[in-house]
A and B are shown apart, each in its own frame.
Chain A
Amino acid sequence: MFEGAVRKQLDEVLKKYPTKQAALLPALWMVQQNKGWIPDEAMSETAEVLDVTSAYVKGVVTFYTMYHQHPVGENFVQVCTTSPCNLCGAEDVVSALLEATGCAALGETSPDGKFTVIEVECLGACGFATPILVNDDFIEDVTPKKVPEIVGKYRDGKA
Chain B
Amino acid sequence: MGYPHEPHSKETVVLSRYFGDKSARSYDGWVERGGYKALKKTLDMDPAAVIDVVKESGLRGRGGAGFPTGVKWSFMPKEKNKPHYLCCNADESEPGTFKDREIMRWTPHAMIEGCAIAQHAIQAEVTYIYIRGEFTEELAIVEQALREAYSDGVLGDDAMGSGKKLDMYIHRGAGAYICGEETALMNSIEGKRGNPRIKPPFPAAFGVFGMPTTINNVETLAVVPHIINEGAEWHNSMCLSNPKSVGTKLFSVCGHVVKPGNYEVTMGFSLGELINDLAGGMREGRTLKACIPGGSSVPILNKEETENCILDYEGCIEQGTMLGSGGVIVFDDSADMVYQIMLLARFYAHESCAQCTQCREGTAWTTRILERMLAGKGKTEDLDLLLDLADQMTGKTICVLSDSCAAPVVSGIKKFRDEFEAYINGSREPVLVHG
Which residues from 105 to 146 on chain A have a C-beta closer than 8 Å to any C-beta of chain B? Answer: 106, 119-129, 133, 136-138
Q: Report the minimum CB–CB distance from A10 to chain B (whole Å).
A: 13
Is A4 interfacial (CB-CB < 8 Å)?
A: no
24 A-B residue pairs with Cβ-Cβ distance under 8 Å, sorted by A, are A17-B189, A19-B209, A24-B191, A25-B172, A25-B173, A29-B172, A60-B192, A60-B193, A63-B176, A63-B194, A64-B175, A64-B194, A66-B173, A82-B95, A83-B347, A84-B254, A124-B93, A126-B98, A126-B255, A127-B252, A127-B261, A129-B254, A137-B136, A138-B136
A122–B94 Cα distance when bound, in Å, is 7
Contact A127 B253 (CB under 8 A): yes
Instruction: Indicate whether A126 sits within 8 Å of B134 (C-beta atoms), given known contacts A19-B190, A19-B191.
Output: no
Q: Which residues of B contact A63 (CB under 8 A)?
A: 176, 193-194, 353
A18 within 8 A of B: yes
A112 CB to closest chain B CB (Å) equals 24
Chain B contacts for A138, CB-based, 8 A: 134-137
Q: How large is the interface on B (under 10, 10 to 19, 20 to 34, 35 or more residues)?
A: 35 or more
- Chain A proximity mask over B82-113: 1 for CB below 8 Å, otherwise 0: 01000000001111111011000000000000
Complex CA–CA separation, A136 to B140 (angstroms): 11
A43 close to chain B: CB less than 8 A: no
A67 to B174, CA, bound (A): 7
Q: Which residues of B contact A (CB under 8 A)?
A: 4, 83, 92-98, 100-101, 132-137, 167, 169, 171-177, 188-194, 209, 252-256, 260-262, 296, 327, 329, 331, 335, 339-340, 343-344, 347, 350-351, 353, 435
The minimal Cβ–Cβ distance linking A79 to chain B, given in whole angstroms, is 11
**Contact residue among B134, B190, B339, B353 (Cβ-Cβ distance under 8 Å from A124):** B134
Of the residues A24, A50, A66, A87, contact of B340 by C-beta under 8 Å: A87
Distance in angstroms between the alpha carbons of A19 and B262 in the assembled complex: 39
Q: Are A21 and B191 in contact (CB under 8 A)?
A: yes
Q: Which 6 A-B pairs have the closest CB atoms?
A: A24-B191, A66-B175, A64-B174, A65-B175, A127-B260, A126-B254
Q: Give residues of chain A (22-64) contacting chain B, Cβ–Cβ below 8 Å.
A: 22-26, 28-29, 50, 52, 59-60, 63-64
Q: A70 on the interface (CB 8 Å rule)?
A: no
| A24 and chain B: residue at smallest CB distance | B191
Q: In the assembled complex, which residues on chain B have CB atoms less than 8 Å from the CB atom of A136?
A: 136
